Chain A
Amino acid sequence: DGGITQSPKYLFRKEGQNVTLSCEQNLNHDAMYWYRQDPGQGLRLIYYSQIVNDFQKGDIAEGYSVSREKKESFPLTVTSAQKNPTAFYLCASSISGRNTGELFFGEGSRLTVL
């Protein structure tokens, strides 16, 4: 079945540690996105990528980094510079960032900083 796979589903991290969240899609979609979800705040865009080897900052990119070395993969690293990293992280994709269609989401990764 086609879809978006995020791992791990739950992750605990000590302060000062970097952590990488995986996002893989087999939908052959060009565009991929990372959103952060906090209670009562909806979803906020962290980074997005329209094509391989290219990505752009979203609204809250500070303390995060990404790579897009393959079309199907868009990992997110939460660095120690992120002041409040505890959140639910959602990866999404779309056929192209230039169409009008919907985004397809993964199941999310919940990061808790201890």
Chain B
Amino acid sequence: AQSVAQPEDQVNVAEGNPLTVKCTYSVSGNPYLFWYVQYPNRGLQFLLKYITGDNLVKGSYGFEAEFNKSQTSFHLKKPSALVSDSALYFCAVRDMLGDSSYKLIFGSGTRLLVRP
């Protein structure tokens, strides 16, 4: 079965410093990986996805993610954090359903706190 793990419940970083939110995956076959962000009492917003191609994927709001097949990781990164980046971040992997359609399986989430 496909799964993703986010080993950190919370990440703290100072504004202006680079940030990394970690995600590792376990899949059979080629992984389809996603990052979402959630602000308090809001829905999830799509940030970026990896399907195939370049290992460095660029997404919304200056975020990027690095796909590493040998380490089965898909870490989210940003060169310079903003206080407004403080939110809950979810990594997800596509999983096949019985009728040949797909769903997303989400990690447990990592809370990012950027201090001024």
Contact B100 A98 (CB under 8 A): yes
**Bound-state Cα–Cα, A103 to B45, Å:** 9
Residues of A within 8 A of B45 (CB): 105
Instruction: Specify the chain B residue showing the minimal Cβ separation from A99.
Output: B102
The number of residue pairs between A and B whose CB atoms lie closer than 8 Å in the complex comes to: 66
Contact A97 B102 (CB under 8 A): yes
Contact B43 A50 (CB under 8 A): no
Instruction: Specify the chain B residue showing the minimal Cβ separation from A40.
Output: B108
The answer to whether A56 and B42 touch (CB under 8 A), given A43-B106, A100-B94, A103-B104, is no
For chain B residues 27-51, which have a beta carbon within 8 Å of chain A?
32, 34, 36, 41-46, 49, 51
Contact B106 A108 (CB under 8 A): no
Instruction: Specify the chain A residue showing the minimal Cβ separation from B34.
Output: A102
Residues of B within 8 A of A101 (CB): 49
- Closest 3 CB pairs between A and B? A97-B101, A105-B43, A42-B106
Can you report 8 residue pairs joining A to B where beta carbons are below 8 Å apart?
Answer: A9-B41, A42-B90, A43-B44, A50-B99, A92-B44, A101-B49, A103-B104, A108-B42
